Amino acid sequence: MLAYCVGGLVLDVPAKSLPALVEWALREARLGQPKLSGSGKDADPLLVLTEAALERYGLPVALTEQERLAGRIPEGHKVIKQLTRANWQLTKRGFGPWGRVYRPAQGSERSCVQVCIPSWDALDTRHWAGAAQLAPADLARLLGLYASRVMTPRGSTAVTGLELMTALHPPTRASRPDAAGKRYSEHNPGSLGRDPVDCAPCEAPDGHPLLAGLPRFHQRTPAEVLMEEAYDWARPLTDTECLHSHLVGIDVNMAFAAGANGLTVGLGAPEHVRQPVFDAKLPGSWLVDLSHVDLSRVRVAKDTWAQLDASLLPSPFTPGGERPTGPAWYATPTVAYAVELGYDVHPVEAYVRRDNGRYLDAWYQRLRDAYLATMADLGVHADLPPQEFLAAMDGYRHRDPQLATLVSAIKATVKGGIGKLRERPRGEGWKPGQPWRALARPTWRPDIRAAVISRTRINMHRKIVKHAAFTGQYPVAVLSDCAVYACDGPSPLDFLPYRDGKPLPGGFKLGINPGLVKHEGTQSVLWGEGVREQFDAPGLNLARYIKDGTVTHTDNGE
């Protein structure tokens, strides 16, 4: 057996059983990675078992349908018995596509090894493309780069995104020595701590234990539930827009990472306040009526107001872009934007978090650097002029498919990590009222997820408003971080207002940095009108299909 390691190193592996392989990884090969934070822990070794290795160590090459649904092999499997006899333990998830084999820590010494099995679908093709079929040396290169730039994978990209938050902000640290020179474990300031905290009732997703008293089939209204989600909005083209030749989509790079950058989020439990005075610096959830905000007249700078056509704009306060009709729950960035637009707000009540901080800053910086370094390897640099940037982005995925896969995995780590902050039970066997395993995590924080999504959506709307005020152009569709405009050319430069190579301040800017935009795709106006007519769906969100023009279903699921 051979071990293909980072940097092209190849080692002979004498281990003839899985327990012996685990021992070899820890004692002889000494695999692993240094900790990412001074108060953190070194990363555990990661063993990726190819099909040949599975056969060598008595494991199935593929899972049965029953094992796949269970997410693991049976506890009575002979290899698990081998591990037990050798005093190794498994987590409650058992031995599945991502297994964790460990012994209880002795002091500061950890004995834990991660096992990844690609043929058991450990590497999701949505994020890792065809990585599972790579030759061992190529897979070692790909996962090694991910480990060095992000962190050693601990599971799916979503799991790793969440684990990265904890690795950069461990819940505890060593105290100063006492009189006897002894140190103790204490809370690490700026972290989420070791113990989970309850969310506010409005932040709880359907099925949460906090909502057990609600009548069966009760549909919560905006005044009962916080609904901070990404955009999914579209409108019919105007007569003038129908005369243009093209629909051009632009996409915000690493939009959710940019939304997390510099964001103040709650670290502790919420405090319920009635009739609060809104404070834009205080993270929380606010019940407030924003239906009076009129997008036809908004403030776009300190003393500058703009007249806009509100019928051509999505509302910044709802994911579907419709104007709110009464009080609703919003995260702090959304309410702060209403104030920024020039309108007073008067919350009825709020759940605020006075213990707060910029918890996600280091997480953002780590993922931003990983993304920019990988794109630079692919020939797309951060300082390229607009035309050169568009040329560099054209076909960048074909220059090195493995690095392109790494880019996809980094992006999925961002989105998945944010999504995991409000993980919900999965599987047909779960029923409301049953325990949620995720609720035992300090990182189960729907309020932080809501704040990031709120800020991301507001960042998009702010750019849309600046662009409309300056150019008179309005998007015809917005989907999450993608906006589509009608114009008379196939390039973003045919409608983005660059002057002497400089973009509109506060508007869309071409570039690879998180928060800047790239070209998502171009189709003809005739294509857009044609697919809407074909599927009899005037509200079809064209941003969903602008990339390649393929429409396989409508927004209505038809």
Residue-wise pLDDT tens digits, 202-243 = 999 988 989 988 998 899 999 999 999 999 999 999 999 999
Burial class (CB in 10 A: 0-12, 13-18, 19+), 263: buried
CA 32, distance to chain mean position in Å, is 26
Residue 511 CB coordination number (10 Å)? 20
What's the distance, CA 491 to chain centroid?
28
Burial 69-104 (b: 16+ CB within 10 A, else e): eebbbeeebebbebbeeeebebeeebbbbbbbbbee
Please, which residues have CB within 8 angstroms of residue 520's CB and are 6 or more apart in sequence?
249, 250, 251, 482, 543, 546, 547
What gap in Å lies between CA 158 and CA 186, rounded to an integer?
A: 28
Residue 552 is assigned to a structural domain of this protein: no
Give the pair of three-digit tokens for residue 291: 């239906």
- Band of residue 558 on the pLDDT scale cut at 50, 70, 90: very low
Tell me which of 500 and 395 has the higher pLDDT: 395
Whether 139 maps to a domain, the answer reads: no
Assess whether 245 and 270 both reside in one domain: no
Is residue 152 in some structural domain? no
Q: Please state, in angstroms and rounded to a whole number, the distance separating the CA atoms of residues 225 and 329.
A: 6
Whether 457 and 329 share a structural domain: no
Domain shared by 310 and 326, yes or no: yes
Is residue 306 located within the same domain as residue 372? no
Q: Please tell me the distance from the alpha carbon of residue 537 to that of residue 555, in angstroms, as a whole number.
A: 8
Confidence category of residue 180, pLDDT binned at 50, 70, 90 = confident
Tell me: do 348 and 380 sit in the same domain. no
pLDDT in tens, 461-471: 999 999 999 99
- Are 243 and 288 part of one and the same domain? no
What pLDDT score does 557 carry?
40
Residue 396 and residue 318 share a domain: no
Q: Are residues 389 and 244 in the same domain?
A: yes
Give the domain-ending residue among 308, 329, 355: 355
Looking at 108, 123, 138, the residue that finishes a domain is 123
**Angstrom distance (rounded) from CA 478 to CA 544:** 9
**Is residue 184 a part of any domain in this protein?**
no
Looking at residue 33, its pLDDT comes to 92
In this structure, the answer to whether residues 347 and 368 fall within a common structural domain is no
Closest CA to 331 of 387, 384, 278, 261: 278
Q: Of 123, 151, 171, which residue is a domain's last? A: 123
463 found inside a domain: yes
Give the per-residue pLDDT at 500: 81
Q: How would you classify the pairing of strands 109-116 and 46-48? A: parallel
Residues 341 and 244 in one domain: no
**Is 147 a domain residue?**
no
Number of domains in the chain: 3
For 15-37, the pLDDT digits (tens) are 999 999 999 999 999 999 999 99
Q: What are 74-101's pLDDT values in tens digits?
A: 999 999 999 999 999 999 899 999 999 9
Which pLDDT score, from 0 to 100, does residue 314 have?
A: 98
Q: Is residue 148 a part of any domain in this protein?
A: no
| Mean pLDDT, residues 39-53 taken together | 94
- pLDDT at position 556: 46
pTM for this prediction: 0.95
Domain, as residue range, for 337: 221-228+263-355
Q: Are residues 409 and 481 in the same domain?
A: yes
pLDDT in tens, 392-447: 999 999 999 999 999 999 999 999 999 999 998 875 456 666 678 899 999 999 99
Q: For residue 437, give both structure tokens.
A: 């395993």
What is the percentage of the chain residues whose pLDDT exceeds 70? Answer: 97
For residue 36, what are its two tokens? 């990412």
| Count of CB atoms situated within 10 Å of the CB of 106 | 8
Mean pLDDT of the chain: 94
422 and 528 co-located in one domain: yes
Would 166 be classed as within a structural domain? Answer: no
| pLDDT value at 106 more than 80 | no
